[in-house]
Amino acid sequence: MLVLTRRPGEAIRIGDDVSISVVEIQGTQVRLAIDAPREIPVHREEIYEQVREENRRAAGAATDVDPTRLWHRGRKEP
């Protein structure tokens, strides 16, 4: 893990497309501005973990489905 020290108004770059700037430091809180292309998802850690857990649960529920039954259900008999 890389640890950097930045002051308000300073930034770091990740590759050519992502820039993270320190906007404000107030007590124990730091406000960051993230400039990234739309195709790169940016989430707070707790939101990212919630999405991952929901995806895991959804994938687990999908394992109960027999895909051949779904295929046959959609077909019309001649």
Which pLDDT score is estimated for 60? 78
**In whole angstroms, how large is the CA radius of gyration of the chain?**
22
Which pLDDT score is estimated for 16? 96
Q: Quick check: is 5 in a domain? A: no
Which pLDDT score is estimated for 64? 63
Which pLDDT score is estimated for 59? 81
- What is this structure's pTM? 0.66
Domain containing 24 equals 11-71
Which pLDDT score is estimated for 6? 96
Domains of the chain: total: 1
| DSSP per residue, 7-52 | -TT-EEEETTTEEEEEEEEETTEEEEEEE--TTS----HHHHHHHH
Q: Quick check: is 40 in a domain? A: yes
Per-block mean pLDDT, blocks of 10 residues, the chain (78 long)? 95 97 96 96 92 87 65 56
Which pLDDT score is estimated for 74? 55
Q: Quick check: is 76 in a domain? A: no
Q: Quick check: is 52 in a domain? A: yes
20 phi/psi in degrees, rounded to 5:
-120, 120
